[in-house]
Amino acid sequence: MAIQAGRIRILHDAAPRRGGAYVLYLLQQANRAHFNPALEYAIEEANRLALPVVACFGLLDGASGFPEANARHYAFLLQGLADARAGLDERGIGLVVRKASPAEIAIDLARDAALLVLDRGYLAIQKGWYAEIAGRVDTRIVQVEGDVVVPVEAASGRHEYGARTLRPKLHRVWDEYIQPLRPRRVARRADGLGLTSAVDVSDPDAVLAGMSLDRSVPPVKRFRGGESAARARLAAYLAGPFADYGTNRGKPEAGAASHMSPYLHFGQISPVEIALAVRAAKAGAAEDRASYLEEVVVRRELAMNHVFYTERYDAYAQAVPDWARKTLAAHEGDPRPHLYSEAELAEGRTHDRHWNAAQAEMRETGYMHNHLRMYWGKKILEWSPSPEEGFARTLRLNNRYFLDGRDPNSFTNVAWVYGLHDRPWARRKVFGTVRYQSENSLRKIDAKAYLRSVEALCAAER
């Protein structure tokens, strides 16, 4: 099937450069060799021009590293790059990896390219790369969306109030985008071009050892990066726990989560591929499919909508709606029964053993169930000296320890704790009319079973 026109944007409308040696693809957000619309578009164009395809990746390191990324994030990223390299090589596509910004490597290699193809992300740093590339590359530049089911602008032209306003817009068009993507045959292999990769990603551990980065948050054993690992995990999930997703998705102890969020964050699996697999799953009922698609499409793309239409999505003053900031400010002076430092929160040294367990799961394994994430965030607001400081702490802890931190979902979920995409509730101390979550919410889960599962997960990381 043809790549949907809504996924394709022309960033520099010029003719392909005559005498170009290859079609260049900046593989940055969609870190995979299969079910990748940008890559398939590059192959189509390369075949039309009788050229090979070269993919490139800019590995940020040292002082120029990706903001807040540490050894945990880079280990997962590099595992994914090793997997992508093997897949690209099998398809006859070259891969050049350098320690450089994505913009720098794309601009340099584009000098000999007939055409430059970009994939797409929605964070400010990514928008900056695209703008720099568009301003300095003089050949044709085409950007192809592969990170969401429905491209953000195709779904909505404004910042949405919440899932209830975005959902019908997505439902109207998502069948057009939830379609299989046929792998294109590569007519001309990239062998013999003479391009060399400065970084050999086939050994991710060796690359990680040679990088200058924050090693205080180590890699985890619970998750291994790569599209092969993502597909294997998805297949096992759909053959088992998915059958009870609609009933058990809010119970962290039930094992009903798919754990796809790290792979989606690093672009190691397509959300369209997941949606198609969920629709085709033999296990599960209509309720399970609908509930899962609500999370992977509606909720995830609500987050994309938020970061795309909010310039400073990481800033309390812009990310949190006006009504919520006003009510939280009015109650900033309320007495707080418990106040903790950020170090105490990070180490899980609070009076609440269930919160401590959730923090331990995040700190040690890089993951926390969504139900606990909400409780975890609300308590940081309650235990911080001000809402502004609570917001900053929540975001720092989230981005530091979660494998899927620094993601549109992360920025949106943190802002939700403080009132984004929500409405006023009954007035309470500290929270004002922002939604409150008490320890009573844990009655909906088997808290003892959750504590046991966290103990086992943390022990496995040692």
Domain spans of the chain, in order of start: 1-147, 148-183+226-309, 316-461
Question: Positive or negative CA dihedral for 315, 320, 323, 324?
Answer: negative
The answer to whether residue 385 scores a pLDDT higher than 90 is yes
Q: What is the pLDDT of residue 172?
A: 97
The answer to whether residue 209 scores a pLDDT higher than 90 is yes
The stretch 347-358 carries a mean pLDDT of 97
Q: Which helix (H) or strand (E) is 434 found in, with range? A: none
- CATH number belonging to the domain at 148-183+226-309, selected among 3.40.50.300, 1.25.40.80, 3.40.50.1780, 3.30.1330.20: 1.25.40.80
Q: Which helix (H) or strand (E) is 277 found in, with range? A: helix 271-280
Q: Choose among 320, 312, 307: nearest CA to 408.
A: 307
The stretch 85-96 carries a mean pLDDT of 98
Q: Choose among 369, 381, 376: nearest CA to 434.
A: 381
The answer to whether residue 254 scores a pLDDT higher than 80 is no
pLDDT in tens, 396-426: 999 999 999 999 999 999 999 999 999 999 9
Q: Which two tokens stand for residue 460?
A: 């496995």
Q: Which two tokens stand for residue 315?
A: 């800033």
The answer to whether residue 83 scores a pLDDT higher than 90 is yes
Other CB atoms within 10 A of residue 188 CB? 16
Q: What is the pLDDT of residue 255?
A: 82
- At which residue do the structure tokens 């695209």 appear? 130
Q: Which two tokens stand for residue 376?
A: 């975890």
CA dihedral of 97, 98, 101, 105, whole degrees rounded to 10: -80
Percent of the chain exceeding pLDDT 70 equals 100
The answer to whether residue 441 scores a pLDDT higher than 90 is no
Q: What is the pLDDT of residue 454?
A: 95
CATH superfamily of 316-461: DNA Cyclobutane Dipyrimidine Photolyase, subunit A, domain 3 (1.10.579.10)
Top mean-pLDDT range of 112-116, 256-260, 281-285: 112-116
Average confidence score pLDDT of the chain: 96
87 neighbors 33 (Cβ within 8 angstroms): yes
The answer to whether residue 246 scores a pLDDT higher than 90 is no
Encoded amino acid at 410, one letter: S
Q: What is the pLDDT of residue 182?
A: 96
pLDDT in tens, 163-191: 999 999 999 999 999 999 999 999 999 99
The answer to whether residue 248 scores a pLDDT higher than 90 is no
pLDDT in tens, 61-77: 987 889 999 999 999 99
- Class assignment of domain 1-147? alpha beta
pLDDT in tens, 29-47: 999 999 999 999 999 999 9
Prediction pTM value: 0.97
Q: Which two tokens stand for residue 4?
A: 């949907």
